[in-house]
């Protein structure tokens, strides 16, 4: 049967969901990463596999991020197994918008688990209908996006060496992790990085809420020669009054990440004078909510960074990449995190070409999950 006829035949048929499986995986990182004072060696992620009665499978992924979403991996698995799977199982995937609404009513918060299930539903429906993830949601407005690379080593020499190696791969957008060392050292590092990479590379910094007000003010006062594009989440997320005061003290745009979990958070940060924000599927609770958040951010004149969470594989990163081609702007860059993994669970591994990444072609997310790899890295 010609492809068009095959799709037409499928459109009239329900996409009845036979099974919903939550799989916990521990994916090895290329090098240990220090975050919030702890060293992590594996990415502990939830993988969701949804199978329809005709055998077609849809896949989704969400990183566990206890310090960002409050979700631990065992809790995410339980959320899918005990609450979300019963909502979806036996239903028609074509009613996915209704299912997403039902899941939100059935389970407060748990945004990572809900995002992985919604993404898997999108992947399943896209594959069945022969439609890309982007087209399923209204279409892309750009063909490719410029990825950024995260930098945060013990020494400035290592930071510069890493940036230069990645520039050879085509990266021209770097985010420096700050809020960890002495402020003076972080200012010196940012200025040394600017000298090393030259004027054409975009540099920004992310404190992950690690500064208090005096340290944030000191960093902003000293870092001007580094020509940063913005500073993300300088203060803890609840300190909106501090953010508003900081905004008035500096010309550098200030962003929010840990503080953004809802449309109400976006409104509050816009009112406090934030210049932009970082949107992540696991914080907002899925693709549809992320698109609504991006529309509101654009409406409020905020810049947008689209980010996967360190470290989602090419499966989770594909969802973020598709969304980055669809949002009104991705002017604060796109963070894809499969690049920090030693081994991936999906193909094609998303590659950077001439400084840009294009979403994989093909229906749904456009990536094929390697089930053997998923089972290999599965943990109980």
Q: Which of 44, 122, 206, 265 binds Mg ion (CB under 5 A)?
A: 206
- Read off φ and ψ for residue 202, nearest 5 degrees: -85, 125
Q: Of 24-32, 163-171, 201-209, 285-293, which segment contacts Mg ion by CB under 5 A? A: 201-209
**What minimum distance in Å lies between the beta carbon of 305 and Mg ion?**
8
Residue 257 or 312 having the CB closest to Mg ion = 257
**What minimum distance in Å lies between the beta carbon of 196 and Mg ion?**
23
Q: Of 156-164, 206-214, 281-289, 364-372, which segment contacts Mg ion by CB under 5 A? A: 206-214
How many binding residues for Mg ion (CB under 5 A)?
3
CB 304 within 8 Å of CB 277: yes
Beta strand 38-52 pairing with 57-63: antiparallel
Q: Say whether residue 177 binds Mg ion (CB under 5 A).
A: no
Q: Say whether residue 257 binds Mg ion (CB under 5 A).
A: yes
Q: Work out the burial of residue 373: count CB atoms within 10 Å of its CB; fewer than 13 is exposed, 13-18 middle, 19 or more buried.
A: middle
**What minimum distance in Å lies between the beta carbon of 257 and Mg ion?**
3
Q: Of 59-67, 82-90, 232-240, 353-361, which segment contacts Mg ion by CB under 5 A? A: 232-240
Residue 206 or 344 having the CB closest to Mg ion = 206
> By rule CB under 5 A, what string of x and - marks binding of each residue 5-24 to Mg ion?
--------------------
**What minimum distance in Å lies between the beta carbon of 177 and Mg ion?**
9
Helical ranges in the chain per DSSP H: 3-11, 73-78, 85-88, 96-106, 111-129, 133-136, 156-169, 183-197, 213-222, 240-249, 263-271, 281-284, 287-299, 314-326, 371-376
Closest residue to Mg ion in the complex (CB): 257
Please give the residues from 313 up to 332 whose contact with Mg ion meets the rule CB under 5 A: none
Q: Of 128-136, 241-249, 257-265, 325-333, which segment contacts Mg ion by CB under 5 A? A: 257-265
Q: Of 127-135, 188-196, 250-258, 348-356, which segment contacts Mg ion by CB under 5 A? A: 250-258
Query: For the packed helices 263-271 and 240-249, what is the interaxial angle rounded to 10 degrees?
Result: 40
Neighbours of 364 (CB within 10 A): 28
Residue 276 or 363 having the CB closest to Mg ion = 276
**What minimum distance in Å lies between the beta carbon of 306 and Mg ion?**
12
Q: Say whether residue 179 binds Mg ion (CB under 5 A).
A: no
How far, in Å, CA of 195 to CA of 280, rounded? 31
Q: Of 1-9, 70-78, 122-130, 252-260, which segment contacts Mg ion by CB under 5 A? A: 252-260
CB-side neighbour CA atoms (13 Å) of 65:
22
Alpha carbon separation from 355 to 144, 147, 169, 171, 193 (Å, rounded)? 10, 7, 8, 5, 19
Helices and strands (H and E) in the chain: how many:
15, 15
How far, in Å, CA of 182 to CA of 351, rounded? 35
Residue 71 or 232 having the CB closest to Mg ion = 232
SS3 state at 54: coil
Residue 309 or 322 having the CB closest to Mg ion = 309
CB 327 within 8 Å of CB 137: no
**What minimum distance in Å lies between the beta carbon of 307 and Mg ion?**
7
SS3 state at 113: helix
**What minimum distance in Å lies between the beta carbon of 53 and Mg ion?**
41
**What minimum distance in Å lies between the beta carbon of 46 and Mg ion?**
20
Residue 133 or 332 having the CB closest to Mg ion = 332
Return the structure tokens found at 34: 């220090």
Which H or E run includes 59?
A: strand 57-63
Q: Of 1-9, 204-212, 263-271, 358-366, which segment contacts Mg ion by CB under 5 A? A: 204-212
3-state helix, strand and coil shares in percent for the chain, rounded to the nearest 5: 45, 25, 35
Q: Say whether residue 337 binds Mg ion (CB under 5 A).
A: no
Which residues in this chain contact Mg ion in the complex, by CB under 5 A? 206, 232, 257
């Amino acid at each position: 049967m010609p492809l068009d006829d095959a799709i037409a035949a499928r459109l009239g048929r329900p996409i009845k969901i036979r099974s919903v499986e939550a799989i916990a995986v521990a994916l090895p990182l290329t090098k240990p990463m220090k975050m919030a004072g702890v060293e992590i060696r594996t990415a502990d992620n939830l993988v969701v596999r949804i199978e329809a009665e005709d055998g077609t499978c849809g896949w989704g992924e969400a990183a566990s991020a206890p310090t960002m979403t409050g979700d631990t991996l065992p809790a995410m698995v339980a959320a899918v197994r005990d609450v979300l799977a019963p909502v979806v199982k036996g239903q028609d995937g074509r009613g996915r918008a209704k299912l997403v609404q039902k899941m939100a009513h059935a389970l407060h918060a748990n945004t990572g688990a809900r995002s992985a299930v919604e993404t898997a539903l999108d992947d399943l429906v896209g594959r069945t209908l022969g439609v890309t993830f982007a087209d399923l949601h209204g279409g892309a407005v750009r063909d490719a996006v410029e990825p950024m690379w995260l930098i945060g080593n013990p020494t400035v020499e290592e930071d510069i060496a890493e940036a230069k190696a990645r520039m050879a791969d085509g990266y021209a957008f770097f985010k420096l992790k700050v809020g960890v060392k002495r402020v003076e050292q972080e200012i010196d590092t940012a200025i040394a990085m600017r000298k090393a990479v030259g004027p054409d590379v975009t540099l920004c910094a992310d404190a992950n809420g690690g500064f208090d007000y005096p340290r944030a003010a000191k960093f902003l006062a000293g870092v001007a020669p580094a020509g940063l594009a913005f500073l993300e989440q300088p203060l803890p997320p609840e300190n909106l009054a501090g953010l508003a005061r900081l905004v008035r003290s500096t010309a550098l745009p200030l962003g929010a990440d840990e503080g953004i979990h809802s449309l109400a958070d976006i409104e509050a940060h816009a009112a406090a004078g934030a210049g932009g924000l970082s949107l992540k599927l696991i914080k907002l609770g899925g693709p549809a909510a992320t698109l609504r958040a991006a529309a509101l951010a654009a409406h409020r004149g905020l810049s947008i960074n689209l980010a996967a969470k360190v470290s989602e594989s090419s499966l989770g990163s594909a969802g973020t990449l598709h969304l980055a081609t669809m949002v009104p702007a991705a002017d604060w860059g796109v963070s894809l995190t499969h690049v920090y993994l030693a081994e991936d669970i999906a193909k094609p591994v998303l590659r950077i070409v001439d400084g840009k990444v294009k979403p994989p072609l093909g229906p749904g997310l456009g990536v094929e999950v390697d089930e053997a790899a998923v089972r290999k890295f599965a943990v109980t």
